[in-house]
Amino acid sequence: KTDGVVGSITKTALTEAQDLTLGSQGSAVTQLQKDLAKLGFYSNSIDGSFGAKTKNAVVSFQKSQGLKTDGVVGPITKAALNKGLTAPAKTKRTTVTIAAGTTYATPMYIIDSGVSGPVVMIVGGVHGNEPAGYTAAGKVKDWDIKKGKLIVLPQANKKAVENKTRTYNGDLNRDFPQSSKESCDNTLSKSIYAAVKSYDVDWLMDMHEGYNYTKISDSVGQSLIYYPTTTTKTMASAIVSKLNSGISTSYKKFSLFRYPVEGSLARASGQYLGVHAFIFETSDNPSLSVRVNYHLKAADTLLSRLGVI
């Protein structure tokens, strides 16, 4: 309004137009601190006071953008901040080591979309003689996501995978807590279980293989075994339905079971950590490529229904 009067609206506009620098105070500094925090450059108190910590955050931001690192928030720095705040989130990929520094050491891959959403963990290679699972998980780790976080542990029992044996120094599928008061049995299971807790996993898929089709044998091959909650059952049913729609032979279709075996990662995570957890089992009778495709289709269905991909 061009009335020549410096009212509250004009005062606000004038304040926002001013450079922000060491010693500045007020709502504009408060907003600056919030913006810097959102972009990952500021982690201190939001107090509306432009002190040394705020200046350091500004300098770090300016350096990341190739700007003059003077710690002053002028028009150029403000424009860069606005651009950063409106830019689409960038997916961040990192690799950590499970059981680092031990004979069990194995890489785990974290894909963080930068957008709020469910945390999904996919595990393969708990048993080293079940190649479809760890082969599929090795492919999933390279998938792009649009929401949430995807954590992939392709070769949980790396030594067993390398040796092509079911186990290595005990059965990892029995090494997780079997009561709320128990701890894990060894270094590897402790490290994996700690990751489930520290990343606050919402959903967990553990990829396995059976020696035959469950409909014609005592094997659990060609099944999905979930820890029962209403939400988990709904998802498990959707996955099995999706897979079975492409299978014509009745005994080769997937079955749905409750309660993963005690001592398994899926059972402990579901029962004691509140994770939506299940074991996915293919039969080792079809070709490896067919089995891998089943695992990938199951993972795709899970992640798609959650909106992660």
Q: Are 71 and 55 in contact (CB under 8 A)?
A: yes
User: Taking all residues of the chain, what is their mean pLDDT, rounded to a whole number?
Assistant: 94
Mean pLDDT of 157-175: 98
Mean pLDDT of 45-60: 95
Assign 214 a pLDDT band (cuts: 50, 70, 90).
very high
- Considering the domain architecture, whether residues 134 and 251 belong to the same structural domain is answered as yes
Residue 154: inside a domain: yes
Residue 77: inside a domain: yes
Residues in the chain: 309
Q: Are 198 and 290 in contact (CB under 8 A)?
A: no
Task: State which of 46, 67, 86 marks the end of a domain.
Answer: 86
Assign 13 a pLDDT band (cuts: 50, 70, 90).
very low
pLDDT for 14: 40
Q: Are 260 and 277 in contact (CB under 8 A)?
A: yes
Domain hosting residue 43, numbered range = 8-86
User: Which CATH number do you get for residue 53?
Assistant: 1.10.101.10
**Number of neighbours of residue 59 by Cβ within 10 angstroms:** 17
Residue 266: inside a domain: yes
Pairing between strand 203-210 and 255-258?
A: unpaired
- Considering the domain architecture, whether residues 230 and 256 belong to the same structural domain is answered as yes
Residue 2: inside a domain: no
In the predicted structure, residue 252 carries a pLDDT above the cut 80: yes
pLDDT for 177: 98
Assign 83 a pLDDT band (cuts: 50, 70, 90).
confident
pLDDT for 17: 62
pLDDT for 90: 78
State phi, psi for 302 to the nearest 5 degrees: -60, -55
- Considering the domain architecture, whether residues 115 and 174 belong to the same structural domain is answered as yes
Task: State which of 52, 69, 86 marks the end of a domain.
Answer: 86
In the predicted structure, residue 145 carries a pLDDT above the cut 90: yes
Task: State which of 63, 86, 109 marks the end of a domain.
Answer: 86
Domain count, the chain: 2
Assign 33 a pLDDT band (cuts: 50, 70, 90).
very high
Compute CA distances 88 → 85, 113, 173, 207, 256, whole Å: 8, 10, 40, 33, 39
- Considering the domain architecture, whether residues 141 and 285 belong to the same structural domain is answered as yes
- Considering the domain architecture, whether residues 98 and 79 belong to the same structural domain is answered as no
Pick the closest to residue 122 from 97, 143, 146 (CA basis).
Answer: 143
User: Which CATH number do you get for residue 115?
Assistant: 3.40.630.10
- Considering the domain architecture, whether residues 148 and 74 belong to the same structural domain is answered as no
Residue 279: inside a domain: yes
Residue 1: inside a domain: no
- Considering the domain architecture, whether residues 267 and 136 belong to the same structural domain is answered as yes
pTM of this prediction? 0.73
- Considering the domain architecture, whether residues 140 and 221 belong to the same structural domain is answered as yes
- What share of the chain in percent tops pLDDT 70? 94
In the predicted structure, residue 6 carries a pLDDT above the cut 70: no
- Considering the domain architecture, whether residues 136 and 82 belong to the same structural domain is answered as no
In the predicted structure, residue 235 carries a pLDDT above the cut 90: yes
In the predicted structure, residue 269 carries a pLDDT above the cut 50: yes
In the predicted structure, residue 127 carries a pLDDT above the cut 60: yes
Residue 81: inside a domain: yes
State phi, psi for 40 to the nearest 5 degrees: 85, 20
Q: Which H or E run contains 106?
A: strand 106-112
